[in-house]
Amino acid sequence: MDLIDTVRPLAKKTPSKILMVVLDGVGGLPLTVNGDTELATAKTPNLDALAQESQLGLAELVAAGITPGSGPGHLSLFGYDPLKYVVGRGALSAVGIGVKLNAGDVAVRGNFASLGQSRLIIDRRAGRPSNEKNAEIVAKLRAAIPEIDGTPVEIYSESEHRFVVVFRAAGTPLGANVSDVDPQVTGVPPRTAVAHDPASERTAHLVNEFVTRAEAALADEPVVNGVLFRGYSEVPHFPNFDDIYQLRAASIASYPMYKGLTSLVGMDVLPVQGEGDALEGKVAALKENWDDYDFFYWHVKKTDSTGEDGDFDAKVKKIEQFDALLPQLRALQPDVLCIVGDHSTPSKLASHSWHPVPLLINSPYGRKDPATRYTEEEALKGTLGLRRGTDIMPLLMANALKLQKYGA
């Protein structure tokens, strides 16, 4: 049985407030045997103090050994079984930048890439170009690829190396069951998209033709000269988050994918001032809207980006930057404060990984916990134990006294 079906009739409205902080990709690995992870290396006096007043544990977002993408990781955190509720990155990014998808359309998440001789991938993110360069490349592609064989093609900037392509259904619905062009490694050429069912054969053709035309259009670019695709998706539908939990929920994030996902589950996406991760802008948005919502999702992106770049020291610094802001979040006195990741992104791997993420829950109703820091090693000692990601929302609801008793 879906846990949502159990929680929905138990949920009740109360004045208590829940703040869920998601440090994207926060879990890590030591660079040397018996060394420290990025979290353990970082100087985090405020997180340490919070940990000593909280319950800790580890969370597996999908299942043992399964590496979560950001979409499945977040769905799990919000209580949606990621093995049942599936959505591609394309739809999340498209909705996050305000693109309306119609039935039969397919949205695809793209990366600008750097290709060398024989089309071998040198950099899957093309050196993370500026948003201005991103917009320049998108304009060039729009001029070169307005349509493919009668199918309208729409191309949108997301941020840095990310962009979105929407293939609009022209009479016949398009399928989204297509293999990735992005091999997610360097030193090999982009893959050829392959349809996994008859309904997706036209989509695969459109994707492969787009890749060919894009490389021709970008042939004079020294760095951004290729495109990689993954995360094909049609219009997704989810049970409404507010209805399930009897909450008025707000999302505070900077990057389109996270805005898109939280919008799709029914949260209000609040405006954030500032460029990039805009942590100060996110603090301001939280303070300005504190009285209007029961649940806040508050996202930090750069703990993930620095891990993907394989930059251990930079990830440590991003953790320390969050730690410096933590007192401002605690000053709002949430009844329940949760700090967690949506997946691990160890700098050692420069990619997402299957390792469980540290979970912290602070409320007046926690038991004595031996963990003294918000780190992977300390979380292993905590009273929460090893949890599935979908356990987290019911735990937060219970600690906020928002769940009625089950059964007689």
What is the full per-residue pLDDT of the chain (408 aa) written as tens digits? 688 999 999 999 999 999 999 999 999 999 999 999 999 999 999 999 999 999 999 999 999 999 999 989 999 999 999 999 887 778 888 888 888 888 899 999 999 999 999 999 999 999 999 999 999 999 999 999 999 999 999 999 988 899 999 999 987 899 999 999 999 999 999 999 999 999 999 999 999 999 999 999 999 999 999 999 998 988 778 899 999 999 999 999 998 889 988 988 999 999 999 988 899 999 999 999 999 999 999 999 999 999 999 999 999 999 999 999 999 999 999 999 999 999 999 999 999 999 999 999 999 999 999 999 999 999 999 999 999 999 999 999 999 999 999 997
Torsion angles phi and psi, residue 359, rounded to 5: -125, 130
In this structure, the answer to whether residues 252 and 209 fall within a common structural domain is no
Question: Whole-angstrom Cα distance, residue 109 to residue 113?
Answer: 13
In this structure, the answer to whether residues 293 and 336 fall within a common structural domain is yes
In this structure, the answer to whether residues 263 and 176 fall within a common structural domain is no
Picking from 233, 255, 271, the residue at the C-terminal end of a domain is 233
Question: Whole-angstrom Cα distance, residue 230 to residue 350?
Answer: 18
> Which of these, 75, 223, 87, 99, lies nearest to 158 by C-alpha position?
99
Picking from 172, 203, 233, the residue at the C-terminal end of a domain is 233
Domain of 390? 3-86+238-399
Does 289 reside within a domain? yes
In this structure, the answer to whether residues 103 and 122 fall within a common structural domain is yes
- Answer for the pair 204, 191: CB distance below 8 angstroms, yes or no: no
In this structure, the answer to whether residues 11 and 58 fall within a common structural domain is yes
Does 279 reside within a domain? yes
Q: Which residue has the tokens 């320049």?
A: 136
Does 408 reside within a domain? no
> Which of these, 19, 28, 57, lies nearest to 344 by C-alpha position?
28
Does 277 reside within a domain? yes
DSSP code of residue 178: B
In this structure, the answer to whether residues 383 and 300 fall within a common structural domain is yes
In this structure, the answer to whether residues 48 and 145 fall within a common structural domain is no
CATH number for the domain that contains residue 21: 3.40.720.10
Picking from 190, 208, 233, the residue at the C-terminal end of a domain is 233
Does 132 reside within a domain? yes
Q: Is the pTM of this model over 0.75?
A: yes
The pLDDT, as a whole number, for residue 141 is 96
Does 405 reside within a domain? no
In this structure, the answer to whether residues 242 and 289 fall within a common structural domain is yes
CATH number for the domain that contains residue 161: 3.30.70
Total of domains in the chain = 2
In this structure, the answer to whether residues 220 and 115 fall within a common structural domain is yes
In this structure, the answer to whether residues 320 and 394 fall within a common structural domain is yes
Q: Which residues contact 393 (CB under 8 A, 6 or more apart)?
A: 7, 77, 78, 79, 245
The pLDDT, as a whole number, for residue 98 is 83
Q: How far is CA 209 from CA 124, 193, 204, 247, 263, in A?
A: 20, 10, 9, 45, 31
Question: Whole-angstrom Cα distance, residue 318 to residue 328?
Answer: 17
In this structure, the answer to whether residues 77 and 141 fall within a common structural domain is no
Range 51-74 burial, b when 16+ CB lie within 10 A, else e: beebbbbbbbbbeeeebbbbbbbb
In this structure, the answer to whether residues 125 and 162 fall within a common structural domain is yes
Q: Which two tokens stand for residue 216?
A: 């021709």
